C-alpha cells in the first residue's frame, strides 16, 4: 500500500462480516473488527423539481488487510451505514493495494 495513503488512515471503522440470514430472512453478522481507515466526505448541491438538494457522498479507504464485502455491516462514529459499492484497487503487480467503500 502507498505509504502516503497509509499515513492518512486515522479514522476508526468497524466492520462486521455478513454470515448469513436468520429464520426470518434478517441478515446476521460476525463479530466486528475495527480498522484504521480514511473517511472522505463530499457534498454536492443538486437541482431538482422541488428546489436545491444537498447530497453527501462518503468514501472510506481501507488497507489491504480489511476483510469486507458488499454485505458487511459498517459502523462509523456509532452509526451503521449501508455499503452502496465497493472497489478493490490493485497495485502495479496485481496485488490488492487497498479497498474503497462507497457509502
Q: Which residues make Cβ contacts (< 8 Å) with residue 1, sequence separation at least 6?
A: 63, 64, 91, 97, 98
Check: CB of residue 34 under 8 Å from CB of residue 68.
no
The average pLDDT across 9-16 equals 96
Whole-angstrom Cα distance, residue 86 to residue 74? 12
| pLDDT (mean) for 50-68 | 90
Q: What is the pTM of this model?
A: 0.84
Q: What average pLDDT does the structure give for the chain?
A: 93
Q: What length does the chain have?
A: 103
Q: Which pLDDT tens digit goes with each residue over 73-100?
A: 999 999 999 999 999 999 999 999 999 9
> Could you tell me the CATH number of the domain that includes residue 54?
2.40.10
**E-strand stretches of the chain:** 11-16, 18-21, 27-29, 33-48, 51-63, 73-76, 79-81, 85-90, 96-102
Total of domains in the chain = 1
pLDDT band for position 2 (cuts 50, 70, 90): confident
pLDDT at 41: 92
Residue 79's domain comprises 3-102
Average pLDDT over residues 9-14: 96
> What pLDDT sits at residue 102?
96
Q: How many angstroms separate the CA atoms of 32 and 42, rounded?
A: 26
CA-to-CA separations, 96 to 6, 28, 69, 87, in angstroms, rounded: 14, 27, 14, 11
Amino acid at each position: 500500500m502507498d505509504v502516503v495513503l497509509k499515513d492518512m488512515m486515522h479514522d476508526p471503522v468497524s466492520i462486521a462480516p455478513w454470515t448469513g440470514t436468520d429464520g426470518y430472512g434478517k441478515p446476521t453478522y460476525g463479530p466486528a473488527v475495527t480498522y484504521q481507515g480514511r473517511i472522505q466526505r463530499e457534498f454536492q448541491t443538486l437541482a431538482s423539481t422541488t428546489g436545491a438538494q444537498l447530497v453527501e457522498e462518503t468514501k472510506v479507504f481501507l488497507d489491504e488487510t480489511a476483510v469486507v464485502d458488499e454485505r458487511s455491516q459498517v459502523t462509523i462514529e456509532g452509526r451503521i451505514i449501508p455499503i452502496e459499492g465497493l472497489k478493490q484497487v490493485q497495485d502495479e503487480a496485481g496485488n490488492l493495494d487497498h479497498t474503497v467503500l462507497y457509502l
